[in-house]
Amino acid sequence: MQTQRKIAAAAARAALGLTILSSAPLQAQTMNVVMVNGGRPTSLPAQIPTTIEGITAAQLEERINATDSEDALKYLPSLNVRKRFAGDYDHAVLASRASGTGNSARSLVYADGILLSNLLGNGASYTPRWGMVTPEEIERVDVLYGPFSAAYPGNSVGAVVDYQTRMPKKLEGHVRVSGFAQHFDQYATRDNYYGRQASAALGDRSGAFSWWLDVSRLDNDGQPIGFANKLVSTGTGTGAATAVTGALADRNPSNRDWLILGATNQVHTVQDHAKVKLAYDVSPVLRASYTLGWWHNDAERRSESYLRDGAGNAVTGGTIAVDGRRFKLLPSDFAPARGELEHLMHGLSLKRHAKDVFDWEVAYSRYDYRKDRARVATDFVAGPDSPGAGNVTDMHGSGWNTTALKGTWRPDGAHVIDIGVQRDAAKLRTRVVNSADWIGGTSGRPVSTFNGETRLESLYAQDTWRIDEAWKATLGARLERWRAFGGELSAAGGGLLPFGARSETSWSPKAALAWRASDEWTVKASGGRAVRNPTAAELFQGSIVDERIVNTDPNLRAERSWTGELTAERLTSSGSLRATLFHESTRDALYSQPLTATVNTVQNVGRIRTKGLELAQQAQDVWSRGLFLQSSLTYADSRIVANDALPASVGKRQPRVPRWRANALASYRFGERWTGTLGARYSGRQYGSLDNSDPNGQTYMGVSDYLVADLRLRYRFDAHWSGALGVDNLGAEKYWAFHPYTQRTVVAELKFDL
């Protein structure tokens, strides 16, 4: 009877795509791998008894309105991606249990072993390169919570996301077209914004050789994500000015009176993606693989002034008068902007996967900014296409590469020993010039230069030991040698200011223990240290005010975190229940803080402590056959314990880490053809500043709470054709993370599978 219950529970979890982390061997169950019908296991170290959550391609297609690859994470516990619109390529930061949406360097995102996380810097401008993966090519996505594997550097302190993309076993093809429409109503902007997306994929396997080709295009008009504003207190009472109407009275995040003058940064983005994957089985247990990814983006950012003069003409420059107060409009208030990006990604590996005594892998990946120019007008212009001077930021030459040699040794049935040597290198190149032609110019008067490189060389080992049928333990350690060099900084008209090289050595122990108390219950404890080294941008990219370098700190200390979790998990015949207590203590956290009254710089925060509870469940055929329920609830008390640089922040909550966060998803199959899904996402009150001096979250630049509902209805016409209709943000909730998120958006798609 016990064996039957074990088999039934394992089968249920396999159907749900859940991670099986048992301490005892079960019949009809593979130890410590993610069971996926017809799929392949995750590349995450699933033998470690700690928290891993995931979603399969079939679940993604049935249940989620996915326009970008990060949408696959939408309902996983404790995760949030700051995606502002479809195709958001430069601000979609991943947040986790103890890390907010301003800390992009505290998580790692991979696709088929290739690093997508942008560790050139930390923050909204250094988000993972989500565009290198399309939703249609995803086979599955898994998330490892916390820095509990020695195989990953300290940036894994928040989470490790692993995308596995499709590789065919026979001839297959897929075509998908979709469209989406958003009605946006904020301040004086009331408009509809539309987008469309198309993708196609083809792959086959012939003998030992297999190949995959995926192409896609996204063309989307996002809503305005910025708003020109002036603090009422900065207005003056005298001087010549143009009397205007249309300014809207509002309060900023600090509850100070300000005027909203217009909508800015309405982004039109056109993104093209292409990927080629090749694999050759040198032998039945040895595979050589190569991946080439290409991503291209043309983006335009437009503005609209709410201001009108006496004749009804739009006003974008000069000095204006509003209710007796005079304000000077700056070129940056309504400046149009453009972006031209072309990135290349390479991945090469040779892997032995016999699952016998010893397996190994050699892997190399490279990510290159082949073209990366951002253009913004600095002169007043009549329209977004008017010629004039402007700043051109060129990041050509930036990028990163990784090299890894990994081995897995299974000396007996009790031990699995992982060892590896890794090298991660990042190169930042940023040059800003003021060109007479902001639209097409590439040269001009130098404004600033930021250069720098970092390198991390690592050696790790960990042993997962099945002590007996009830107990399993993992012990590991990671030794790292970090270097920063080549730092250069210049302002307009000045020479390069070089910085000396730095190097540090650190080590990070890891440990986990699991006890299978019964057929249904497992208790797991995990602990680990993570050292998150400063990025090149944090070290070398200071602030420039009035063409002068006013700050930079090339001596920033690394973040050092101790993280632990205690989990009780119950496996049932229909799914699983999990409760996890977690704790993290981080010293020298890297945050932008006030240096002067008007200038911020990255500085070390003495200590941040986070403790909380995460509850999660998944169940199939609840109450009636075909009903799937998934939900999670996270409580996190994240506080700044010490901070000499800003004493007012001590005792305050860590920015963008809400106290409460919850997700829920209910999906029901109506027979063989129809599937309906209703989801909800909740986040409690958040702050954007270290001293929590921004109590008003329901405004531009604020960080708000929200409750958002999503709907999806999918119909399969036959074995080849399917269609779906969905709505994201069903209630048209207005919510913010500095910028406004999308409001009610309707998504329709049609798909053909060969």
Contact 705, 719 (CB under 8 A): no
Q: What is the pLDDT of residue 338?
A: 96
Tokens of 617: 């469940």
Question: What pLDDT was estimated at residue 34?
Answer: 38
Mean pLDDT across 599-622: 94
pLDDT reported for residue 231: 97
Of the listed ranges 68-77, 232-241, 252-261, 719-728, the least confidently predicted one is: 232-241
Q: Which residue has the tokens 């010490």?
A: 642
Maximum Cα interatomic distance, the chain, rounded to a whole number of Å: 89
φ, ψ of residue 495 to 5 degrees: the values are -80, 170
pLDDT of residue 211: 98
pLDDT at 22: 32
Angle at 190 (CA atoms; ends 187, 195), nearest 5 degrees: 125
pLDDT at 18 over 80: no
84 phi and psi, to 5 degrees?
Answer: -90, -25
Q: Average model confidence (pLDDT) for the chain?
A: 92
User: How far is the C-alpha of 2 from the C-alpha of 639, rounded, in Å?
Assistant: 45
Q: For residue 57, what is the enclosing H or E element?
A: helix 57-63
Residue 403 pLDDT > 50: yes
Tens-digit pLDDT profile for residues 436-490? 999 999 999 999 999 999 999 999 999 999 999 999 999 999 999 999 999 999 8
- Predicted local confidence at residue 629, as pLDDT: 97
Q: How confident is the model at residue 382 (pLDDT cuts 50, 70, 90)?
A: low
Q: How many CA atoms are closer than 13 Å to the CA of 521, on its beta-carbon side?
A: 5
Tokens matching residue 115:
């690093």
Instruction: Write the DSSP symbol of residue 16.
Output: H
Q: What's the pLDDT at 42?
A: 73
Q: Which residues pair with 584 in a beta bridge?
A: 563, 610
Question: Which residues, listed in sequence order, are joined to residue 403 by a DSSP beta bridge?
Answer: 364, 423
Asked if pLDDT for residue 236 goes beyond 70, the answer is: yes
pLDDT at 637 over 90: yes
Strand partners for 263: 227, 304
Q: What is the mean pLDDT of residues 597-606?
A: 85
pLDDT digits (tens, 9 = 90+) for 540-581: 877 777 777 777 788 899 999 999 999 999 999 899 999 999
- Please check the confidence at residue 14 and state whether its pLDDT lies above 80: no
- What pLDDT was estimated at residue 353? 93
Amino acid at 490: S
Of 471, 582, 608, 484, whose CA–CA distance to 526 is shortest?
Answer: 582
- pLDDT tens per residue across span 42-96: 778 888 889 999 999 999 999 999 999 999 999 999 999 999 999 999 999 999 9
DSSP 131: G
The amino acid at 217: R
pTM of the model: 0.93
Which parts of 363-457 fold into alpha helices (H)? none
The answer to whether 225 and 85 have CB atoms below 8 angstroms apart is: yes
- Between CA 617 and CA 624 the distance in angstroms is 17
Lowest mean pLDDT among 9-23, 266-280, 732-746: 9-23
Q: Across the strands, what pairs with 750?
A: 177, 723
Q: Around Cβ 194, how many Cβ atoms within 10 Å?
A: 12
β-bridge mates for residue 559, sequence order:
532
Residue 233 has pLDDT above 80, yes or no: yes
Region for 384 from its dihedrals, namely left if φ exceeds 0, alpha if ψ lies in -120 to 50, beta otherwise: alpha
Is a pLDDT exceeding 60 seen at residue 32? no
Distance CA 184, CA 182 (A): 6
C-alpha torsion sign, points 67, 183, 730, 735: positive
Mean pLDDT, residues 690-717 taken together: 97
Strand, helix or coil at 6?
helix
d(C-alpha 47, C-alpha 148), whole Å: 11
- Give, as one character, the DSSP assignment of residue 313: -
What single-letter amino acid sits at 276?
A: V
Let me know how long the chain is.
754
Q: Residue 557, exposed/middle/buried by CB under 10 A (0-12, 13-18, 19+)?
A: middle
Across 697-715, average pLDDT: 97
- Strand partners for 426: 400, 454
CA angle 409, 415, 417 (to 5 degrees): 40
Q: Is it the case that residue 5 has pLDDT exceeding 90?
A: no
SS3 37: coil
Q: What is the CA radius of gyration of the chain?
A: 26
pLDDT of residue 549: 76
Which pLDDT does position 21 carry in this prediction? 34
What pLDDT is recorded for position 600? 82
Element (H, E) at 58: helix 57-63
Whether 125 shows a pLDDT value over 80: the answer reads yes
pLDDT of 33 strictly over 50: no
Question: To the nearest 10°, the Cα dihedral for 305, 306, 311, 315?
Answer: -30
Measured between alpha carbons, how far is residue 140 from residues 34, 41, 316 in Å?
Answer: 10, 9, 48
158: which 2 tokens?
Answer: 């928040």
Q: What angle do CA 170, 174, 179 make, to 5 degrees?
A: 165
Distances (CA, A) of 42 to 112, 173, 235, 350, 442: 10, 23, 58, 17, 44
Query: Is 60 exceeded by the pLDDT of residue 344?
Result: yes
Structure tokens at 114: 């290739």
pLDDT at 379: 83
Question: pLDDT for 484-529, tens place per residue?
Answer: 999 999 888 777 888 999 999 999 999 999 999 999 999 999 999 9
The per-residue pLDDT for range 641-662, each reduced to its tens digit, is: 999 999 999 999 999 999 999 9
**Lowest-confidence segment of 29-33, 389-393, 659-663 by average pLDDT:** 29-33
In 3D space, the residue among 753, 754, 751, 752 whose CA is nearest the CA of residue 725 turns out to be 751
pLDDT tens digit string along 126-168?
999 999 999 999 999 999 999 999 999 999 999 999 999 999 9
Residue 176: pLDDT band by 50, 70, 90 thresholds? very high
Q: Give me the residues paired with residue 404 across strands.
A: 363, 422
pLDDT for the residue numbered 43 = 78
Domains and CATH numbers, the chain: 2-229+240-432+440-753 (2.40.170.20)
Quote the tokens at residue 554.
């090339």
**Quick one: pLDDT at residue 495?**
76
DSSP assignment of 55-113: EEHHHHHHH---SSGGGGGTTSTT-EE---STT--SS--EEBTTB-TT-GGGSEEEETT
- Residue 535: what pLDDT? 96
